[in-house]
Amino acid sequence: TKQRVPETLSPFQLYVISFICSVTNKKPAQASITKVKQFEGSTSFVRRTQWMLEQLRQVNGIDPNRDSPEFDLLFENAFDQWVANTASEKCTFFQVLHHTCQRYLTDKKPEFINCQSKIMGGKSM
């Protein structure tokens, strides 16, 4: 998924920012969401910020009545606005994120709001 990037960036500052949801192989498993960037012309990614899944408080799909690529993630100490490449990509990311939260978080699970029911397997959000 790509972050909303201001139009004032110069051509020398072009990069793509993405979220990656990952889980460690160690016991106990630790899940995290990592913001990475990839500079234009590069094949590698650079980690910018990482949050443990436990820090995720809210996933906001913005508008449950239309297929939209925009969404917001609210963490304990951060708020990020995002735009996926497509509404379908956003849907897939939400499904993976929701499943990961259900599997690895036992106490405080994030709130999924303004999400289409198809994103959560038919459940109204």
Residue type, 9: L
What's this model's pTM, rounded to 2 decimal places? 0.75
- Both tokens of 55, joined, read 């820090």
Beta strand 31-39 with 15-23 is antiparallel
- Both tokens of 13, joined, read 């500052």
- Which is nearest to 55 in space by CA: 38, 71, 77? 77
Domain range 16-115, CATH class: mainly beta
Cβ-contact 35, 79 below 8 angstroms: no
Locate the domains of the chain by residue range. 16-115
pLDDT by position in tens, the chain (length 125)? 444 443 343 344 444 557 667 777 777 878 888 888 877 788 888 888 889 999 999 999 998 888 889 999 999 999 988 888 888 888 888 998 999 999 989 888 999 999 977 666 654 44
| Cα angle for residues 52, 115, 21 (degrees, 5° grid) | 25
